[in-house]
Amino acid sequence: MTLLITWPDTGPETELRRTSDPTEIQAALAPVGVRFERWPVRDDVPADAEAGEVLAAYRDNVERLTAQESFTTVDVVSLHPADDPDWPVRAAAAREKFLREHTHDDDDEVRFFVSGSGVFYLHVNGEVHAVLCEKGDLLGVPRGTAHWFDMGIRPSFTAIRFFHEEEGWIGTFTGSPIAARFPDFDTISTIGTEPAVCP
């Protein structure tokens, strides 16, 4: 279930918004320059499909977006639980890299979820928008926007990534501890669409 929750950046004690409606999510994020789209999903693409198969399956939308935004590089990133004794260590290291607030000085961060899920946290204009993205969701975070990403303690997702710069992902970390104040992926992925009611 795709979900948007917005809080003041002082903490999650007060919810300003909670919605799972894609139209409402798009409308809420557009004023801060964040792109949100839903693409038709391909159920014939396995969660662990090879990059070439993924890109071929979504070729039309990939080519459309690449032409619109002049992206120079498109690739596929995939992280799924494996029968590998090193997997927990690799998964924890991957999670830690993106879990600290950062910006991108020279590129947008654009991801389309082919399978699985993850939460993007956007820190903009005194608010934090947590966007739980799932299969079929595309999110574009504009360059310079403070954000972080959580894939949970057992990451499982495949995503298409779009870049303007050939160097790929380059983050500038803000040094802020803000990410620790907000619910993580594992908490957000288990809550419902209705806002909590305070007694």
Which residues participate in the annotated binding site?
Answer: 102, 104, 109, 147
Quote the CA–CA distance of 109 and 100 in Å, as a whole number: 15
Residues making up the annotated binding site for Fe(2+) are 102, 104, 109, 147
Altogether, the residues listed in the chain come to a count of 199
Residues making up the annotated binding site for Ni(2+) are 102, 104, 109, 147
Is the torsion defined by CA of 150, 152, 154, 159 positive or negative? negative
177: exposed, middle or buried (C-beta count within 10 Å: 0-12, 13-18, 19+)?
A: exposed
For 55, the token pair is: 């890109």
